[in-house]
Amino acid sequence: MSVLLALGALALLAAGILGLVAPARTTAIRLIGALGAAALLPAVDAPAARPALGAALGAAALASPLSMLLAAAAALAASLRSLSEAPVDERTGLAAFLAAVAAVVATAAWESALAARLRSGADPARAALVGGVATVAMLLSLGQGSLLRWSLAFGEGAAHLSLRGGALVLGTALLASLFGVLALGAHALVPSVVWAHVLGRRALVLGGGTSLLGLGLVVARGLDQGPEALAAGAGSLAGLMLAVLILAAGLLILLGAPGGTVARGSGLEESLGLALALLALAASGFEAWSGVGSYQTPRTAAFGAAALLGLAALPATGFALTRRAAFAAATVVLLL
């Protein structure tokens, strides 16, 4: 089961990378994405795999690079969760499936808006800056901020696994990414400071590279020494992978890859994303009502907040890109 999910993640990752470097090849992107989704189909009985399947199907339909990368991260999370015998979280059922499709659609809508902004002459460094901020945020949230103390552990009790080596690499990645974000942020504020742009770009390349290295190290050690513990950290590890992939996409755009100029679909994705988020909220409320007797639960509140951010993203007013990013982030949190 876990191997099939991992293969699905790899296929979706390949489709996402192809979408970044050759966005015009939509048929090939869609085909590889569909293969990834097909690899997830046998796991449909496993509750943890259903959101990944929803994300993969949505991404294959949209053929958007970031959606493919999101689906790949969701498949990785499902693959790691399936290592555990015990259920590691409660996010199952129709609500999680709908939230996954909403996340994919919201991500595609944000990508469309970003591409449009870049086409209209916006600084491509902002794309890398977004990826850098996401990477820093995910590294900080990994192990609930323990990387700041150069330590990282997953699981509790018998399933506890301490990953000192991975913590050192990821801690270094955090420092490099933070430096890159600050430098690119300084350049965004004062565009004449060219050295900050160069330094920020190099620091983010270093941060992204070491993050990927640290992620690989953590997964390899976890698979070897504590699969149960790795399953407990599946969501945060998949989130880190997604953030690093967004950073890589941003750096590619910064370096002039065609992904930065790709023309994408219409604003229909925004309203479709909100409609799906509202349906996911309805399903989540029903699941909570039939499960624990009340729809007023923290999980339903998280679904509600995501739907509200979707509503906030719709009106034609200022900070459009930020509002769409907030909606996409809120739905991605539900998915991972």
Partner 1 sequence: MRFSRPAVTAAAAGLFALVLHPAARAESWLPSPPLVPALLALLLLTSLLARAALHPRERVLAAGALLVVGALGYDGARGVRGTVSLGVGDATSTFLEEGLGGRRLGLRPLGFTLGLERLREGGRIEVSVPAGSATRLELAPESALGVGAFRLGAPRAVPTGEVVRLVVAVHGGPQPAQAVVTPTEAGQAEDLKVGLERYFPDFALDERQQPMTRSVEPKNPAALLRVEKAGKVHRVFVLGSMPGLHRVEALDRSFSLVGVDPDVKVDIAVVSEPAAAVGLLGLVLAAAGTLVSRLPREVA
Binding residues for partner 1 (CB under 8 A): 266-268, 270-272, 274-276, 278-279, 281-282, 285-286, 289-296, 298, 301-302, 304-306, 308-309, 311-318, 323, 326, 330, 333
For residues 56 and 309, which CB has a smaller minimum distance to partner 1 in the complex?
309
The type of residue at 7 is L
The least distance separating partner 1 from the CB of residue 73, rounded to whole angstroms, comes to: 19
For residues 22 and 137, which CB has a smaller minimum distance to partner 1 in the complex?
137
For residues 72 and 106, which CB has a smaller minimum distance to partner 1 in the complex?
106
For residues 159 and 333, which CB has a smaller minimum distance to partner 1 in the complex?
333
For residues 109 and 152, which CB has a smaller minimum distance to partner 1 in the complex?
109
The least distance separating partner 1 from the CB of residue 286, rounded to whole angstroms, comes to: 6
> What residues contact residue 333 under an 8 Å CB cut-off, 6+ apart?
302, 306
Residue 293: how many other CB atoms lie within 10 Å: 9
Q: Characterise 321 by phi-psi region: left (phi > 0), alpha (psi -120 to 50), beta (else).
A: alpha
For residues 24 and 263, which CB has a smaller minimum distance to partner 1 in the complex?
263
For residues 46 and 249, which CB has a smaller minimum distance to partner 1 in the complex?
46
For residues 121 and 318, which CB has a smaller minimum distance to partner 1 in the complex?
318
The least distance separating partner 1 from the CB of residue 312, rounded to whole angstroms, comes to: 4
The least distance separating partner 1 from the CB of residue 138, rounded to whole angstroms, comes to: 14
The least distance separating partner 1 from the CB of residue 271, rounded to whole angstroms, comes to: 4
The least distance separating partner 1 from the CB of residue 195, rounded to whole angstroms, comes to: 36
HSE-up of residue 100 (Cα within 13 Å, Cβ side): 32
The least distance separating partner 1 from the CB of residue 172, rounded to whole angstroms, comes to: 27
The least distance separating partner 1 from the CB of residue 307, rounded to whole angstroms, comes to: 8
Asked whether the beta carbons of 265 and 112 are under 8 A apart, the reply is yes
- HEC sequence for the chain: CHHHHHHHHHHHHHHHHHHHHCCCCHHHHHHHHHHHHHHHHHHHHCHHHHHHHHHHHHHHHHCCHHHHHHHHHHHHHHHHHCCCCCCCCCCCHHHHHHHHHHHHHHHHHHHHHHHHHHHCCCCCHHHHHHHHHHHHHHHHHHHHHHHHHCCCEECCHHHCEECHHHHHHHHHHHHHHHHHHHHHHHHHHCCCCHHHHHHHHHHHHHHHHHHHHHHHHHHHHHHHHCHHHHHHCHHHHHHHHHHHHHHHHHHHHHCCCHHHHCCCCCCHHHHHHHHHHHHHHHHHHHHHHHHHCCCCCHHHHHHHHHHHHHHHHCCCCCCHHHHHHHHHHHHHHHHC
**Rg for the chain (alpha carbons), in Å?**
19
The least distance separating partner 1 from the CB of residue 302, rounded to whole angstroms, comes to: 6
For residues 225 and 294, which CB has a smaller minimum distance to partner 1 in the complex?
294
